[in-house]
Amino acid sequence: MTFTQRKTSPFNPTENMRTMGKGMRAAILFLLGVLMLLGILGGRLFYLQIIEGDLNQQLAENNRIRLIAKPPERGRLFDRKGNILASSRLAHVVYLWPIAQSKDKWQPIIERLAQLMGVSAQTISDKLEQEGYNSPNLVRISTAISPKLVTVLSEHSLELPGVKVEPEAVRYYPNGDVAAHLLGYTGELTAEELPKLREKGYRPGDVIGKAGVEYAFENMLRGEWGGQQVEVDAFGKVLRILGQKPPKAGNAVKLTIDLDLEKAVEKILGEQQGGIVAMNPNNGEILAMVSHPAFDPNLFSGKISEATWKRLQEKDHPFVNRTLQVYPPASTFKVVTMTAALESKAFSPSDVLPTYPYLDVGGFQFWDHNKAGFGTIGFYEAMAYSSNTFFGQVGMRVGERTLAEWSHKYGYGEYSGIEIKEEETKGTVPDPEWKQKVVGEPWYVGNTLNMSIGQGDVQANLVQVSMMTSGVANGGFRIRPHLLLEDNDAREWKQSLNISPTNLAALQKALKSVFEFGTASSLSSAEIAMAGKSGTAQDPPRPNHAWFTLYAPFEKPEIVVTVFAENAGGGGGSAIAAPLAVQTVEAYMQIKKQGNSPNNPPVPVPAQN
């Protein structure tokens, strides 16, 4: 059988129509798909550009534009005459710029940086983690570094992308350890401090006041951050600077202290462990505040080596401000006892009492310091000779509650109001309730006797003793000690103790008698009439403490000086502390004659190391 193959003509219209229909359908379907896809893309584009255009534009700008924050220069500290107490010097500081690298890329960079700087890589990583790897803020990872290290980091800069060595003003104290406890020091924020201060604009690595007026006046000294707005590429590299806001330096702060007097008092105290406070009794201005041993606050403007830190700790607690720590005030407290006796009307200024070698109370013997007594005497002789048996009898008759009442009126057992309150211990004014609560024992008559002579559980600091002395010197007012030089209304820092004029005159005469014929008679001066009180506090098994507090000139007081010699032993307050107090008054009078033009040393360039 023969089969004949049918040939289709290319000109067959029916068959051609079927073939064309299939192609057109495919083309139409393709076109519809493209149109649908374009519609979806267009709709999405419309949504992103029109509906959320502003938001997305902002996000794009945030990815392209960065703000590099710049810290402000800390405000300077001046003494009352304009002498610089704290300023700034130029140094170099190491920063990391978190957004410059991804988290993974940062790790080898940090390891290399730590190796070059000789620090812990973990410490650097912790600071970067605190700020966050996407942060545009520079993260400080060092305080001032040496010029040698600046050179080393510059030479290895290609290995350290995202690491910046920037010039910055760091704290500088031109007088070294002079007024160290009063001024305090600055240091980096700790991990514990950061959460509390972040809402105030602080960042990891920020430097803040840590002690003294640096801490107390932080808000005034800090200043405001500025920065540069820069455009960066996808790798975080700066393409151009778009604008900048200069940092605003902190405010200058003028203090009440006199640098010349501060230096003189430092020399007067010498190597004696203890402190000296000089204060204006009329307005509470602190003229000098010296505590020894001290430290150089410049050490904290850079990295302290372990060896340096250990050496500082080996000294006798150099960071403790002894002018604000409490000790038994000893016989200086007899001013409170005499005030309580006269104002309670239990005694009059003319009353006399017999004195004895000792008083036997409850089977305990309370000795007079000369072991013999002083015969029958009145308040003036008792203050001049510092008779324990006289004031012990007075205190027992007056009672512990009246003694406590006048202690508080003078400022004992309370914070003095000085601005560096974080370093102040307010001390103790004991009473029966206090003893039962703290010691778990009832009050005995012997406690009252001990209290009346400033021993036992009574504790006070040098500023509080100065406040008491000022109250007698200034006509019967309790003043608020302060360090900020200002012209406040007198009602803000001065309140009446309500001591009668007769009793006040008796107190003044009693303190003057200390210099006229009492424990400080060998130190009396024909040029400067002074009034004051010595004190010797027991501190078994260690040697006794020595106190002396005075005011001068007697007729028109300008200065109160309180000296505390810790565990000085020897002859007590009149032999050890009194000469230092008198020398301070003499230095004050000499400096008063000098001019007030400041003499500020130049800021040094850090040495190569």
Query: Distance between CA atoms of 603 and 249, rounded to whole angstroms?
Result: 18
User: Looking at the domain assignment, is residue 124 inside a domain?
Assistant: yes
Q: Are residues 423 and 334 in the same domain?
A: yes
The residue type found at 32 is L
Q: Determine which helix (DSSP H) or strand (DSSP E) holds 496, and give its type and residue range.
A: strand 494-496
Instruction: Tell whether 286 is covered by a domain.
Output: yes
Of 334, 500, 336, which is closest to residue 409 (Cα–Cα)? Answer: 336
Q: What are phi and psi of 545, to 5 degrees?
A: -85, 155
The residue out of 231, 254, 277 marking a domain boundary is: 254
Which DSSP string do the residues of 319-330 spell out, in sequence order? TS-TTSS-B--G
The residues facing 186 across adjacent strands are 209
Of 294, 325, 341, 275, nearest to 548 (Cα)?
A: 275
Q: Give the pairing type, strands 352-354 and 163-172.
A: unpaired
597 inside domain: no
Cis bond upstream, residue 501 (ω within 30):
no
pLDDT at 101: 85
> Per residue in 334-355, is it b (16+ CB within 10 Å) or e — as a string?
bbbbbbbbbbeeebebeeebeb
Considering only 74-83, 176-185, 361-370, 487-496, which range has the smallest mean pLDDT?
487-496
Domain holding 214, by residue range, is 66-254
pLDDT score recorded for residue 608: 39
Answer yes or no: do 432 and 363 share one domain.
Answer: yes
- Helices 400-410 and 334-343 cross at an angle (nearest 10°) of 110
pLDDT in tens, 291-301: 999 999 998 88
Burial class (CB in 10 A: 0-12, 13-18, 19+), 405: middle
Query: Nearest to residue 480, comparing CAs of 491, 472, 554?
Result: 491
- Report whether 207 contacts 188 (CB < 8 A): yes
Q: Which of 232-246, 291-305, 411-425 has the highest mean pLDDT?
A: 411-425
In this structure, the answer to whether residues 577 and 450 fall within a common structural domain is: yes
Residue 372 lies in a domain: yes
Nearest to 549 by CA among 321, 278, 339: 278
Beta strands 77-78; 139-140: pairing state: unpaired
Distance (Å, whole) CA 534 – CA 332: 6
432, 490: one domain: yes
Q: What are phi and psi of 563, to 5 degrees?
A: -115, 135
Same domain, residue pair 235 and 345: no
Confidence of residue 224 (pLDDT cuts 50, 70, 90): confident
0.75 cut: is pTM over it?
Answer: yes
Asked which of 195, 220, 254 is the last residue of a domain, the reply is 254
Same structural domain for residues 208 and 99? yes
573 and 500 in one domain? Answer: yes
CATH number of residue 190's parent domain: 3.90.1310.10
Number of domains in the chain: 2
242 and 330 inside one domain: no
Task: Choose between 254 and 5: higher pLDDT.
Answer: 254
What is the share, in percent, of the chain residues with pLDDT greater than 90? 63
Question: Three-state DSSP class for 379?
Answer: helix
For 12-67, write each residue's pLDDT tens digit: 555 555 555 556 666 666 666 666 766 665 655 555 455 555 544 543 444 566 66
Task: Give residue 292's region: left, alpha or beta (phi > 0; psi -120 to 50).
Answer: beta
CB 188 within 8 A of CB 178: no
- What CATH number does the domain containing 588 carry? 3.40.710.10
Q: How confident is the model at residue 230 (pLDDT cuts 50, 70, 90)?
A: confident
- Which is more confident, 394 or 204? 394
273 lies in the same domain as 209: no
- Asked if residue 160 belongs to a domain, the reply is yes
Question: 431 with 570, same domain?
Answer: yes
Q: How many CB atoms lie within 10 A of CB 604?
A: 9
Answer yes or no: do 326 and 195 share one domain.
Answer: no
**How far is 544 from 521, CA to CA, in rounded Å?**
22
3-class state of residue 146 by DSSP: coil
Same domain? 209 vs 272? no
Q: What is the pLDDT of residue 187?
A: 87
Reading the block at residue 318, the tokens are 């150099």
What is the chain's length?
A: 609
